[in-house]
């Protein structure tokens, strides 16, 4: 596992930076263009959630190794309001705002592994991994 890179997410241009960095790492890892596109899209969704619902936070991007393969692990963390009902938030089409409600569920489908932890009043952390 390499050190990892932390990107603050405070405004909508930071989401672009996350997309660009994830793309760069995915290319470096040797992911094909479809897999690159999937992981960048998932990252874009989660970074936007961190910004819009979490009130800002940061992303940690790292290259990880396991079982003889390498992957990209992306963590999105905020100290926002948290999610009361994670099951509901994961439903396709559910949005407490004016979104399409496809960010969390879609990011899960676009990743190899997906993990969400959220505590009301403390914040939210979503970790996704895409193995090569």
Partner 1 sequence: MDRIPILKLGSALLVTIQVDMHDRLAKALEDDITAKIMTTGAKGVLIDISGLDIVDSFMGRMLDTIASVGRMLDATTVVVGMRPPVAITLVELGLTLVGVKTALNVERGMALIGISVDDFEEVDRHDGG
Ligand X SMILES: Nc1ncnc2c1ncn2[C@@H]1O[C@H](COP(=O)(O)OP(=O)(O)O)[C@@H](O)[C@H]1O
Which residues are at the interface with ligand X (CB under 6 A)?
Answer: 45, 49-50, 53-54, 78, 80-81, 83, 89, 94-97, 99-105, 124
Helix (H, G, I), strand (E, B) or coil at 17: helix
Nearer to partner 1, 34 or 67 (CB): 34
Which of 36, 50, 124, 129 forms a contact with partner 1 (CB under 8 A)? 36
How many CB atoms sit inside 10 A of residue 115's CB? 13
Residue 82 sits in the site that holds Mg ion (CB under 5 A)? no
CA 90, CA 70: separation in Å to the nearest integer? Answer: 27
Binding partner selected for residue 27 from Mg ion, ligand X, partner 1, none, CB under the kind-specific 5 to 8 Å limit: none
Query: Do residues 102 and 39 touch, judged by C-beta distance below 8 A?
Result: no
């Amino acid at each position: 596992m390499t050190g990892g890179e932390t990107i603050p997410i405070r405004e909508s241009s930071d989401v672009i930076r996350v997309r660009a960095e994830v793309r760069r790492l995915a290319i470096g890892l040797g992911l094909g263009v479809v897999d690159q596109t999937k992981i960048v899209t998932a990252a874009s969704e989660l970074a936007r959630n961190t910004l819009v619902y979490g009130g800002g936070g940061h992303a940690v991007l790292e290259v990880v190794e396991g079982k003889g393969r390498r992957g990209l692990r992306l963590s999105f963390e905020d100290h926002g309001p948290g999610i009361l009902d994670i099951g509901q938030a994961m439903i396709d089409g559910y949005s407490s705002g004016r979104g399409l409600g496809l960010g969390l569920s879609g990011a899960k489908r676009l990743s190899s592994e997906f993990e969400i932890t959220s505590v009301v009043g403390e914040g939210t952390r979503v970790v996704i991994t895409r193995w090569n």
